[in-house]
Each structure stands twice: as structure tokens, then as C-alpha cells.
Amino acid sequence: MTDALGGFIGKGIGVYGSTGSIGTQTLEVARQLKGTKVVALSCKSNAKLMLEQIKIFKPKYAAVIDESGAEWLERRVKANGLKTEVLHGEREAINACTAEEIEIVVNAAVGIAGLVPTLQFIKNGKDLALANKESLVVGGRLVIPEAKKAGIKILPVDSEPSAVFQCMQGNDKGSIERLLLTASGGPFRGKSTKDLSSVTVSEALKHPTWKMGKRITIDSATLMNKGFEMIELHWMFDIPAEKIKVVIHPQSIVHSAVQYNDGNIIAGMGATDMKVLIQYALTYPIRIPNKFARLDLAGQALSFEEPDTDTFKCLDLAYSALRSGGTYPSVLNGSDEAAVQLFINGKIGFLDIQRLVSEALSDFKGNKEVSLENIMESDRWARAYVNAKVIG
Ligand code: MG
């Protein structure tokens, strides 16, 4: 919300997935953003952390998907004399974030479970600060038309789409020649297929520049995360896949860039701190000063290189899933998530992840019409396929 002069005077926000990494950082941002009112908090199961959040933010609603967590929270909220209404279950967790006072919902759900909430927030006319990649990776074909119909904004939270979005401000989208999507290359950059055949889970979990959850860290090591982001950029900005070029940039200083048809490139840079990006999503199109991390460019060396797509096959698999259309991206995501879980559990090797995803994509038969049911069914098929191949 802005005043008559266009100044930021705060917003009512809902945080779906408030106890995860993005959720907690969103609340740190909200805390220092004057006038911002946290109206609703939703989480999957961490009722204990949510109780602490309720004490600080005093939201109107707090919802826990997990029943026993919700019951515990309800008792604690009453015992503490707090006025927050505690809600139970997934449907209520979504409803909480569609409350009238909410202007923007941060969707920080993990995985494909974020798609239904995204569609519901849009249908209720809420602007969306989207941290849940899967909403667009598997559901872009549904989500984008709905967002257009509802006239709401989808604001990126992740560093790469945020950089692209910021580099597009004030420029004509028609003059974009290509998007330069940067990737750190992960912990295994420069390694050969032979090296990769024996890498361990703990080596794969060592991301060189960003601190993130387990799955996304493994997805960064395989470059699948970059494949997902390519699909995300395609839907978010309506840019064809062939105009999205992945560039390896080990320092993660350039978060991504936009190249225009007159040869000018505008790059988005910053410290590796999500809070700066979350804040922009919440205050867009206004900028508000803050005390978060700053990047000092002096003394920084930047390098860029081509991705090694012969060794790291996930990137090409993502382009091919997007090209195949239909629910292939759902198979890409579902098979990858299942394979990454098996790798983390020590059941398969690192290279088996890309092999299993590739096999799932080529064995998938139904390139059906994209509907919510078909997306979910393709996802289930892909997970079952991968698990059956490994566990039998
Ligand atoms: Mg990213």
C-alpha cells in the first residue's frame, strides 16, 4: 500500500510456510518494514516455532497443517492469553492467507505442495511473492493464465528471477534478446563423470556460496535447480526457453542478467542474502532502506563459463521437458525429487539422479492436457517409477 505521494506505508501480508528458511527470513524483513502487518501465518508442522512467531507478530490467524501440532498450538496460544485464531489442516492454512486484510502472500511452501495454495491465493486476488518454484515449474501453464485473469502480480523472491525482474524495470520486454541465468556450478564444478561416480552425500551438500535446504543444495550440485529456474523464468516472464542462456558464475555475485537487442546487458547483483530480495518483493515498486547485508564490489573477481552439459545432464533434461510440454515438467520434478531423496538416503549414487530422471522422461507415456489432476498424477507416476526402479 502506498500513500498519495507513492511512499510505502506497509501492507497486510500472509506467510504460507512461515517456519522454513524463506518464511523466517520473510518475518525478519516484515519486522523492520514499518507499517507491515503480518495477518496470517501458516506452516506444516513446526508449531513450537510458530508459537514464538505468534508472540512477536500477533497475527489474526495462525494455521498448522499437521493436526496434532495445531491442537498443541491452540492450547499454548490460549494459555498465553494471545488472541490469534488457530486453524487446522491444509485447507484452513490456505484460507488463513486469503483473509481480507492481506494484500500479498509469500508462498514459501516446499515442493509441489505449493501449487494448490498458489492457485487459491491468485483466485482470491492476492498478489503473490513466489518462493515456491514448483508452482511455475510444474504448474506454469495453469498459474500464469489465472494470474492474468485475476489481475494480480507475481513477484519473484528467489535471487535469479528477482535479478531478471529488477533488470527489466523501465525497459521494453520486446527488446530482450536473452536472459542470462547464472549458476554457481555447485560443489562439483569442473569434475568429470568419473569423479562424480564416487562423490558422497556430504560432499554434495556443501554448496560453495548459498546456504539452503537439502534438496535444493543437491539440485544445485546436479544443475537441476538451474533447469527448474529456466522453466520458472520462461513462465514468469513469458520468454521462450531458447532465449534463456545458463552461464556458470562461481562467485554468485551476479544473480542473473538481461541482454537487450542493442547489445546492452543489465546485471542484477548483491550480497547472498535472501532478505534483500524478499523485501523488494514486498515493497515493489518502491525501495525502502534497510540494514541487511551489502556487497562490496572492490576486491571481487567475477568469472563466467559455459556449463558442462556433457557431465551434468540435468540442464538439458529440463529444456527437453519444457519442450515436450504437457505434464513432462511434472515428471521432471517428481522423478528428481524422488531420486534426490534416494541419494540423500544412501540408496543410489550421485550420477543415478540424472540417469533416473532421464529414464522417467523417456518412459513417460501420457503427455496429457495440463490440469491440476494430471499434474499431480504425473508427479505420482514419476515418483513411483523412480522408487520402483531402485527399491523394486
Ligand atoms: Mg536460485
Is there a contact between 329 and 138 (Cβ–Cβ < 8 Å)?
yes
Residue written as grid cell 510458530: 50
DSSP 3-state of 8: strand
Q: How far is the CA of 191 from the centre of ligand 1 (A)?
A: 22
For residue 94, the model assigns a pLDDT of 98
Give the SS3 label for residue 353.
helix
Q: Which residues contact 113 (CB under 8 A, 6 or more apart)?
A: none
Cα 105 to ligand 1 centre (Å): 20
CA of 3 to the centre of ligand 1 (A): 33
21 alpha carbon – ligand 1 mean position (Å): 14
pLDDT value for 1: 66
Task: Provide the pLDDT for residue 368.
Answer: 73
H-type helices in 151-240, by residue range? 159-168, 193-196, 201-204, 214-222, 224-237
Among 270, 41, 235, which Cα is nearest to 143's? 235
Centroid of ligand 1 to alpha carbon of 301 (angstroms) = 21
Read off the C-alpha cell for 283.
515493497
CA of 162 to the centre of ligand 1 (A): 9
Residue 159 Cα to ligand 1 midpoint, Å, equals: 5
* pLDDT of res. 214: 87
Measure 232 CA to ligand 1 centroid, in angstroms.
Answer: 10
Q: Are the C-beta atoms of 317 and 357 separated by less than 8 Å?
A: yes
CA 229 to ligand 1 center in whole angstroms: 7
CA of 199 to the centre of ligand 1 (A): 23
Give me the amino acid identity at 46.
N
Output the CA 75–ligand 1 centroid distance in Å: 38
Q: How many CB atoms lie within 10 A of CB 51?
A: 19
- Output the CA 5–ligand 1 centroid distance in Å: 34
Q: What is the 3-state secondary structure (H, E, C) of 263-295?
A: CCEEEEECCCCHHHHHHHHHHCCCCCCCCCCCC
Report how far ligand 1's centroid is from the alpha carbon of 222 (Å): 13
Distance 158 CA to ligand 1 centre (A): 5
Give the pLDDT confidence score for residue 5 in this predicted structure.
Answer: 65
pLDDT of residue 10: 82
Say how many Å lie between the CA of residue 4 and the centre of ligand 1: 35
* pLDDT tens per residue across all 392 residues of the chain: 667 666 677 899 999 999 999 999 999 999 999 989 999 999 999 999 999 999 999 999 999 999 999 999 999 999 999 999 999 999 999 999 999 999 999 999 989 999 999 999 999 999 999 999 999 999 999 999 999 999 999 999 999 999 999 999 999 999 999 999 999 999 999 999 999 999 999 999 987 777 777 888 999 999 999 999 999 999 999 999 999 999 999 999 999 999 999 999 999 999 989 999 999 999 999 999 999 999 999 999 999 999 999 999 999 999 999 999 999 999 999 999 999 999 999 999 999 999 999 999 999 997 679 999 999 999 999 999 999 999 88
Q: How many CB atoms lie within 10 A of CB 70?
A: 23
* Interatomic CA distance for residues 44 and 383, integer angstroms: 21
C-beta separation of 42 from 15 below 8 A? yes
Contact (Cβ atoms closer than 8 angstroms) between residue 160 and residue 179: no
Domains and CATH numbers, the chain: 12-156 (3.40.50.720), 161-272+297-308 (no CATH), 325-392 (1.10.1740.10)
pTM: 0.95
Let me know: does 256 contact 168? Beta carbons within 8 Å.
no
CA 271 to ligand 1 centroid distance, Å: 13
